[in-house]
Chains A and B, each alone.
Chain A
Amino acid sequence: MPSLRSLQTDVMNALLSGEAGPAAALIALGGAAASASPARRLEVYRNNVGANFIDSLHSSFPAVWRLVGEEYFRQVARDYHRENPSRSGDLLHVGRGFPAYLAKLHGADQYRYLADVARLEWLCEESLLAAEHAAMDLERLRGLAPSAYAALRFDVHPALRLFESPFPALRIWEANVAGDAEPEPIDLGAGSDCLAITRMRLKLTFHRLSRGEFNFLDSLRGGDDFSEAIERAGAGDDAFDAGAALRRFAAAEVIVDFSVPANPPSA
């Protein structure tokens, strides 16, 4: 009699490959459906496993589904599944590697925007599932001496994601994510994206960013203090205005908190 471990291994191999293999010999026959063979019985499970995986990808990447069509999406999803079986009891995670997989497939052809749309969809999904956080207490900030600002560490909202693309990915996504109407054609040369994705209360929101603003938020979320973030933001963007950026992102609930260092450097 096979051990439980070896039985499970044989069955999993049968479900994730196309072949029944040694699992077929483990399966009993009987019941009103006695004539259904072990291979057919395994196929019921294999179909379920594949369908659940593809449904999960579809729900994470609805715009990619619409852009490439159901048939091609299913084909790519099946190949992706074969190379990247689920590693978690929660199917939500299976889409994590899908944008990179699309980049590998289409990174050098006329569909190279697909991977960026997929990356945008995945970041939206992450943002929608992130923890809640209250808006920043501006009164507390106003109570500080201006000299204390440089050393402050600002916290960004847990739902903040930053996104860059040489394509108008957000416009492509918006045109394809919902609705039945045939989307208007979008010129791939019509602008690049530099975005903050976040959630205002429970709704996904997008903010278009200048180069300086992008670097500023990227620096803050990496743990740099205010002066370091300003320096990084200003390095590539002469027009960057730190005070305006702080006001904008506090109002938009992108920056949501700050901490005063325990021992401010004596400068």
Chain B
Amino acid sequence: MDERGEATMRPEPMPASAGIGLRAQHHLEVLSGAPRVGWFEAHSENYFADGGAHVEALMRIRARYPLSLHGVGLSLGSTDPWDRMHLEKLRRTIGRFDPALVSEHLSWSSVGGRFANDLLPLPYTEEALRHSSARIAEVQDYLGRQILIENVSSYLQFNASSLTEWEFIAGVAAESGCGILLDINNIFVAAHNHGFECHDYLQGIPRGAVQELHLAGHSRVEFEGAVLLIDTHGSPVCEAVWDLYGAALRRFGEVPTLIEWDTDIPAIQVLEAEADKANALRASLHAVAA
């Protein structure tokens, strides 16, 4: 295999029509039913294996649809040395599936060799900004391509933070040269949990940097009389998030949008219907602008 050749290959750009998150229980349906979605996004780590049914299924799905690879385990913001094995598997996976987009989360999940396997928020400090930017630049060098970084949902923030989340993510994109995957639901969840304005967030993100949008459902949990929003990805996108998505489309233009659903995964038709809704909203805004 010519890895160099694979790394420099230019896949077709992602269509603006909505995609859906690919989960293993839908592999067979996708292959037999050819659902009418623009593209699929797969979690990179789920296809790290040397071989087997999942890798085989994604190969066949990739032959029919554009693909985005979305990592959940790289621990970009960690102060540990890189997990070289993880980076190498990510590079191999990109070489195999030739995705149009590759993304990771702006978060950390490991320190001292121990992994939480969860997307933990960073303190929004100058130190963390420099550190994260340097790490992203290293990953991009290693992979030989630009990656997108996603804003995470969060349930706590740190006293040490001196920047807003949007200043932090915009700063990291500017310093590292990465693109941004803006998760609209995560903005909504974090805004509620931490008390900021969603529209301030959108205004703080530079127009040209956003290359993908995520939409998902969340749930409400009551703690000690206070309501926290939790990013469960187990329900339809709520109306307030659709409204915020409209505002994001007006600001960032026709950006590929993904419907994510990870718990209590429904029939694929439910995901198709959510993708249709995103497409309809995009089309209506586009018609007004034209």
**A residues in contact (CB < 8 Å) with B:** 1-5, 7-9, 11-12, 15-16, 25-28, 30-38, 40-42, 44-45, 48-49, 52-53, 56, 85-92, 128-132, 158-159, 199, 202
Contacts A45-B155, A53-B117, A130-B50 hold; do A36 and B123 have CB atoms under 8 A apart?
Answer: no
Given contacts A32-B192, A35-B226, contact A41 B123 (CB under 8 A): no
* A-B pairs with lowest CB-CB distance, top 5: A89-B73, A31-B195, A129-B49, A131-B50, A41-B156
Q: A49-B118, A52-B117 are in contact. Are A88 and B223 (CB under 8 A)?
A: no
List B121-150 residues whose CB lies under 8 Å from chain A.
Answer: 122-123, 125, 127-128, 131
Residue contact B115 to A86, C-beta cutoff 8 Å: yes
> Which residues of B sit under 8 angstroms from A158, Cβ to Cβ?
50-51
Q: What's the least CB distance linking B225 to chain A, in Å?
A: 6
Q: Is the interface of B mostly helix, strand, loop or mixed?
A: mixed
Shortest Cβ gap from B132 to chain A (Å): 9
Nearest A residue (CB) for B87: A89
Q: B69 CB to closest chain A CB, in angstroms?
A: 14
Give complex CA distance A86, B72 in Å. Answer: 14
Most B C-beta atoms less than 10 A away, residue of A8, A40, A42, A85: A8
Number of residues on chain B facing chain A (CB within 8 A): 57
| Known A4-B125, A52-B117; contact A128-B75, beta-carbon cutoff 8 A | no
Specify the chain A residue showing the minimal Cβ separation from B109: A89
12 contacts between A and B (CB under 8 A): A3-B127, A11-B120, A12-B111, A15-B118, A27-B156, A31-B193, A33-B226, A36-B223, A128-B52, A130-B51, A132-B51, A199-B52
Tell me whether A16 and B114 are in contact (CB under 8 A). yes
**Do A1 and B56 contact each other (CB < 8 Å), given the known contacts A31-B194, A88-B86, A89-B109?**
no
Min C-beta distance of B187 to chain A, whole Å: 13
